[in-house]
Each structure stands twice: as structure tokens, then as C-alpha cells.
Amino acid sequence: MTRKSLLVGSAAALALVVTACGEKPDAANAEAAAEAPAEEANLPEISVSDAELEGNPFRQEWDTPYGVPPFAEIEDAHYMPATKKAILELRADIDAIVSNPEEPDFENTIVALDTAGASLNRVLGVFSNITNTDTNDTLSELEAEIWPMLTRETDAISFNDALFTRVKAVYDQRDRLGLDEQDARLLELTHREFVRNGAALSPEVKAEVAAINEELSGLTTKFGRNLLLSTKAFKIEITDEAELAGLSDDFKSALKVDGEDKWVLTVDRSVYETFMTQSENRELREKMFDGYRLRASEGEYDNGPLAIKIAQLRAKRAELMGYKSHAHYQLEPRMAKTPKGAEEFLLKVWEPGLERAKEERAAMQEMVGDEFQIAGHDWWHYAEKVRQDLYAFDDNALKPYFELGAVRQGAFDVASRLFDITLEPVEVDGWNPVVTAYDVKDANTGEHLGLFMMDMYARDSKRGGAWMSSYRNTSNINGDDIRPIITNNLNLITPAEGEPTLMRFDEVETLFHEFGHGLHGLLTQIRYSTFSGVDGPRDYTEFPAQILEHWAGAPEVLADYANHYETGEPIPMELIDKMNAAATFNQGFKTTEFIAASLLDLRWHMLTSEEAAEITDAREFERKVLEEYGLLPEIEPRYRSQYFSHIFAGGYSAGYYAYLWSEILDADGFTAFRETGDIYDPELAARLKKWVYEAGGLREADELYRNFRGSDPTIEPLLKLRGFAEQPSEG
């Protein structure tokens, strides 16, 4: 694993202090050297025998296309011994740096850290991905063991005084070393991370922080597991087809159990949103609504106590490290800088969004009259009815034009025109039969840039949502050019056998979004894995994904890829016009549900240690926060605390606002293309490629954006795209 966290990865994705792209150290020397540093750091002894490692794929060369892991050969039993062996080798790598008799310099300390732990990177690159896509009970039990184990190791590195002394010695002479830009950035980020991880703390405080980190690792892993199990446990079986009134034929076919007159509803997001929009059955909508929003909120899977404990531990850790709150710690290196800065930004969009939501609620209530009072489980359904009434536009009319293969090719064509790359399908054995793979090359030179793999369908073993991840990160040290293996994951409904995969337009945008993350990982030209690929502060890293969404709905792009799956006819311009006219409809709801979750995230993590200690009921805390901001009772936050895995099991704590913050950048950035009159403008596309997709974390995020755009972003394009342009705003 690398120092950076994955963008959308495992609940236990760890921000390790080292990256792991170097050569594998000698095994015998690794075991011998590991003993001393383990004792000094008070780490538990780890032992693994040759017999346990015999035949282990992680200890062998992978003679596979593109160096893809040999998934068919990897068994659950291989992970633990391979992890133990890799930890021993990581300890040896660190000890070799610390015990080096030569004076610390850039190569023997900073580069050595960047390349340490290669075999650990290899194991965890597979383990963290497979536990997200094809998990089982055994893997879940392994997660509960492996992630806390890794937390102990990374803390030992962060708190290694001798190691930090060497890092600081190099950093203190940085202006005299003649480093190029990438070297200097690696040194800067290495030193910064040691300091932010607590390297300068007293031994007593380090011990407290380490204990908190280990406990948090176990709690966040359990939070994610509870959510997965509670989500998969909820099912509604329908045997009377009349109860499915309003559902489209293709959606009903996808829900039907093979060989039985039975349909099964789940609360996987794609199923939930489609059902809530289409279903005429108000009672069933309410059951689905409650099933979705009450996940992981009771019984053995209740995440409420876990959320409280996680927030308390994070607040205590922040206090120990000298910060007012976890949010203050997290936002220090980000574009928003402070919790107040993030909150003030959110409220600029919240206020017009909330007013628009009230108008939307009134329009729906007018439609139903006195029959009943609009409730949360009515919003999706009646919002769609109002939209059809206002714009004569039915979202289902779009789906025949958005077949998965065509949409994927449309995204590929956009990337090819913008960035001069090619993506060709290749035969590679993936982790699941549904995975497809593509060789990404520079169109001008034919140079291999990376392998791109896509896993598009939902299944019980796969976590919900959509994300980008990697099996191998980029590195180019001493000419050893290692290119990435990047993955995109969606959770589309598997169609009935023989039927096409037809997508809602929001799913089309999601595919383009994740592909934007994928390109950020694939196109990188940074030699050090520490800041190559998907890198930068959380409120910037969504920008490369979100800007690509704008091409998905551009009329000139739709004309290329949105063809009827049966007739091949291009999408009618009339339908495009209606879709664009309706684009800002229901933005009040969409804006407030998102910002409600973002504000909830901030408030959980703005708690001081004393304030957090007083929280005893997660639902009550949540209720008070949302009432304070004036959220309409008919609107649920996009994520309630018990299933807010982004912040309690992933890397978005005090950072969920980042999606909207990045929307300032993507709206402003795409406006630049529109202003040229050519959404493929070569000069602007070249700057976007160089300063965003290729640059990783080469410079601070605001500078990277200015180098692309030529100026700082303003909020006006965001408000305009959401239909709030008439509202007063500040740049």
C-alpha cells in the first residue's frame, strides 16, 4: 500500500508511511533484521514458516499479462502468511534505513522510504480490493486481524525517532541538495507526513495515539462489515405482480428470480433509486424507504455506538496532537483550510438549495392535493411525475440509448480525443468473470500507460456504491518504469439473461465520473508512487472525476455514443433538449440531501474531545444537527450516521463536502472549454492533461488548478449549473 489513501477504497484503507514499489529484499536477511526494530517499537513478534509460504502466489513471480495478480491461484488462506512475511520484510527495509552508517541523504533515506515494503504493497493491493468486490466470511475475519496489525506497523514507522531524525536531517538541508521538482516534492511530503502523523510528539503521547489508531482500525472495519451485512440482509419478496405497478419491464425482469414467479427487492442503491422513482405502490415505497434509511441502526448490526466511539477517539487523538478537533486536523492541508471555511462554503449553496426544495415540495403537494401529505418515501416518485408534467420528459425514454457497451465506448472516445490515448480490449483473467480489461496507450508513441479494468455489476459479495481503485501504483525510479493497474467499480443491476444492460443517465454520469478517477491514476507521469496518480487533498481529488461528467451529457458527445440499442438510431435532439431543460429540476432536493450529509460529517468531526464524550445517542445527535440547519423533514440526508461509510469506514472523515467543493472546480473548468467554443479545445485539453491528470500531487492543489485554468475558480458556474444563478453569491 502507498502512503496515500485510495480515493474510493476499502473501509480499512490505510495511509501508510511508506510506499512499496521497490525490489523485494532478501528473505533471510529480512527475517533476521526484523527482530530488533520490532522489539524497540514494542511490536508483537511475527513468525511465518517456509511451510506456510510454500506455493503461496504472493511469493512467486507473476508471469501473467501486464503483471495482473493470478486471481484463480490466490486462496483466502494465502493472505495471512503472505502479509506476515511482507511485514517482516517491511521491518527489515526500515531497519536498513535507520541503521545505515552513512549520513542521511535523499537517496538512502527519502527514496529508500518511498520504495520500502514492496511485497506488502503487493499483498494488500489484492486483499483490499477483493474484500470490496468478492468478500466472504473468511475474508471478513481476516480484515479484522490484518488491518489492526498493519496499523501497529505503520504507527511504529511514524513514531520511529531514529527514522524521523534522518528524514529531518535531509529536510533541513533541502535547499542545498540540488533536487529537481519531483525530488523536492517527495522530500516535502515525506517530512510533512511524519510531522502530521505525530513523529514530533513525546513518547507518552505517541503511545496514546498508537493505541487510538489501533482501536480505530478495528472499529472502522466493523462499521463497514455491519453495513454490508445489514444491507444484504434486507430483502422484500413479491409474489403478486400487481404490487409492482409502475415498474418498467426491463427493471421487473432484472428483479425476477429465475424459474419462479417471484421478484426480490433489495436496498442496493441502483435498485432502491429505480424502485422509489417508478413504483406506484406507496405502502411498498415506504417499506423500501425505511429499509434503506434504517440500515445498520438496530440489533447486532447497529452502527450507532460505533459512530459515537469513532468520533470520540478521533477527537481525542486530535487533542493529543494539538488540534481543536479532528476536522481542524483533517482540513489543515486541504483547500478549505478550516472547518469554518468548509461550513461557510456549504451554506452558500445550502440556502438557495433549501428554498428551491421548499418550492419542489409545494409542487408535489399541489399534484397530490388533499389525498395525503407528501412524505420522504414520496419524493422520488412524485418529483419524477412533476418533471414529466413540466417537461414532458420521461427518464425511462432515455435508457434504450444508454447501453453499457456504448456508454463505455463513449467515455473512451472522449478520453481519446482529449488526451491522445487509445484503449483497446485485452484478454486478461480478472477477479470475477464480469471484469473486462483494456490496454491504455499513448496514441502518438504507442507507449503503454496502464491497464484499466472494469467491474460493473452488483452482487452480494460486493460493497455498494461506485469507486476507483488500483492493484498496482505507478513508479519510475532508476528507470524501472512501473505502470499502474487501475480499476473502476459500479453496482449496475444485472439484466435478465440475453438482455442488454440499459442505464439511467445518472448511472451514465457515474461511469464517466469513475473513469475520470481512473484516468487520474492511468495518465500519471510522476516517478514516485507517494504522490503519483490519484493524489492531492480530498477536496481536490474529486475534480478530475467530476469534470469528465460534463462530457457525458454534452449534446455533441451524446450524438456520438447515445444510439438506440435495437435500431442504432442516434438519440433525438428533441430528447436531448428535454433532458437538458430538465437538468436543474429537483436540484433543491439533490443539493440539500447532499449538503445535509456534508454538514453532519463536519459536525461529528468538529466535536472537541469533551463534547464528543457527552454524545450517547447517534440518532439524537444527528436530529439536533439537522434541525439546527433547517433540513425539511421530508428530505433524508444522503447518508445517515449509521450507514455513512464514507466518513466512518473510509477516507472522507470531515471531508464529504469535498464533492461539492470540487464541483466549484469542475463547473468552472468545463466553463473554460465552453468559452473556447470547442469542448475538445487542444490547448486547454493539453493543460488539463499536464497539470491535472498527469501531475498527481506534484504541487499544491490550488496551483495545479490555476496552471490548467489560468485563474482561480469562482462559485458562479456551480450555482448556474444547479439552477441557482439568480441567487447573490461571492467569488
Q: Report the catalytic residues.
A: 514
Beta strands at 436-442 and 421-426: parallel, antiparallel or unpaired: antiparallel
**C-alpha span between 369 and 385 (Å, rounded):** 14
∠ CA 472-474-475, nearest 5°, is: 120
Nine cell digits for residue 34: 526484523
Nine cell digits for residue 415: 478520453
Nine cell digits for residue 24: 523485494
User: Which amino acid, 188?
Assistant: E
For 389, other C-beta atoms within 10 Å of its C-beta total 12
For 73, other C-beta atoms within 10 Å of its C-beta total 15
Q: Are 353 and 598 in contact (CB under 8 A)?
A: no
**C-alpha span between 48 and 78 (Å, rounded):** 12
**C-alpha span between 380 and 278 (Å, rounded):** 8
Nearest to 5 by CA among 166, 179, 197: 197
**C-alpha span between 709 and 543 (Å, rounded):** 13
∠ CA 138-143-144, nearest 5°, is: 100
Q: Are 599 and 343 in contact (CB under 8 A)?
A: yes
State phi, psi for 490 to the nearest 5 degrees. Answer: -120, 175
C-alpha distances in Å from residue 686, one per residue of 233, 304, 552: 48, 47, 20
What b/e string do you get for 507-527 counting C-beta neighbours within 10 Å, with b at 16 or more? bbbbbbbbbbbbbbbbbbbbb
Q: Are 731 and 715 in contact (CB under 8 A)?
A: yes
**C-alpha span between 658 and 83 (Å, rounded):** 33
Q: Are 379 and 635 in contact (CB under 8 A)?
A: yes
User: Which amino acid, 590?
Assistant: K
Nearest to 67 by CA among 428, 533, 522: 428
Nine cell digits for residue 188: 516535502
**C-alpha span between 14 and 151 (Å, rounded):** 7
DSSP state of 611: H
State phi, psi for 238 to the nearest 5 degrees. Answer: -115, 125
For 590, other C-beta atoms within 10 Å of its C-beta total 20
**C-alpha span between 22 and 20 (Å, rounded):** 6
Q: Are 14 and 47 in contact (CB under 8 A)?
A: no
Residue 115: helix, strand or coil by DSSP? helix
**C-alpha span between 150 and 130 (Å, rounded):** 17
Q: Are 292 and 265 in contact (CB under 8 A)?
A: no
Q: Are 691 and 707 in contact (CB under 8 A)?
A: yes
Enclosing H/E stretch for 245: none
